[in-house]
Amino acid sequence: MSEYLSKEEVKQWRSSLEKITLEEYAARLGKTIEEDKPTNDIVDFVLRGKPVMSRIEDSTQTRGEKITSIAQRTFDREREISNSFSAKEKTVTKKIEKAIIKPQKTEIKAVAPSDALREEVRLVFSKALTEREQMVFDYFANNKNKIVYAKDLASLLDLPRDYVYKYIKNLRTKIEGDKLQNSENGGYILNI
């Protein structure tokens, strides 16, 4: 019989409900706990038992510089984005002004800005449309009083068909009145 505790006995001690130390458990069994064996690691040979001290440079200044540079890049990017939005708003406003001065009621495709299109077809939206919802609405408006299928919208948005139903549902909630309806044979109709 071995004088040291085996792995199985240590496992039994861990799983037991008694609250005793490992030394007490070993004493009950008439055994002792095996001391740590000396290792033959190369680290032990090189360091000869001395502790390892790592030297850390004062990196608070570099961290602060990193944060400042990230914040500056973010600020520059935000300014760039806001400038591009204001430029787009100006071009859309000019197109709307042209559409109001010269209304083209014969073709809906000729009227590019969605606000002018909304005014022409007399639809009221409770909330602003997202970019994809606007694309779906424009497709419905170009095919008004015709059946539009989800597969057509999926190919338009380059999305799986399951994702298209979300945009149709959102359009229904944002268009005031019951203008977007289900077709009897499947698909959807925008009645204007």
Q: Are residues 139 and 181 in the same domain?
A: yes
* End-to-end CA separation in angstroms for the chain: 95
Residue 93 within a domain: yes
Residue 107 within a domain: no
Whole-angstrom Cα Rg for the chain: 37
Q: What is the CATH number of the domain that holds 118?
A: 1.10.10.10
In whole angstroms, what is the distance from residue 191 CA to residue 126 CA? 18
Task: Single out the residue of 94, 176, 89 nearest to residue 127, CA to CA.
Answer: 176
Domain tally, the chain: 3
Task: Give 85-144 pLDDT, tens digit per residue.
Answer: 666 666 666 666 555 554 433 333 444 455 555 445 567 778 888 888 888 888 988 988
Residue 143 to residues 4, 88, 115, 127, 153, Cα–Cα distance (Å):
86, 27, 18, 22, 12
Q: Are residues 120 and 144 in the same domain?
A: yes
Q: Are residues 136 and 182 in the same domain?
A: yes
Task: Give 28-82 pLDDT, tens digit per residue.
Answer: 888 888 777 777 777 777 777 777 776 666 555 566 677 777 878 888 888 887 7
Residue 52 within a domain: no
Residue 1 within a domain: no
* Look-up of token digits 């009950």: 28
- H helices within the chain, ranges in order? 7-15, 22-29, 42-47, 60-101, 114-121, 131-142, 150-157, 161-174
Domain assignment of residue 42, given as a range: 7-47
- Evaluate the CA torsion angle 3, 5, 9, 14 in order and state its sign: positive
Q: Are residues 165 and 137 in the same domain?
A: yes
Q: Are residues 140 and 96 in the same domain?
A: no
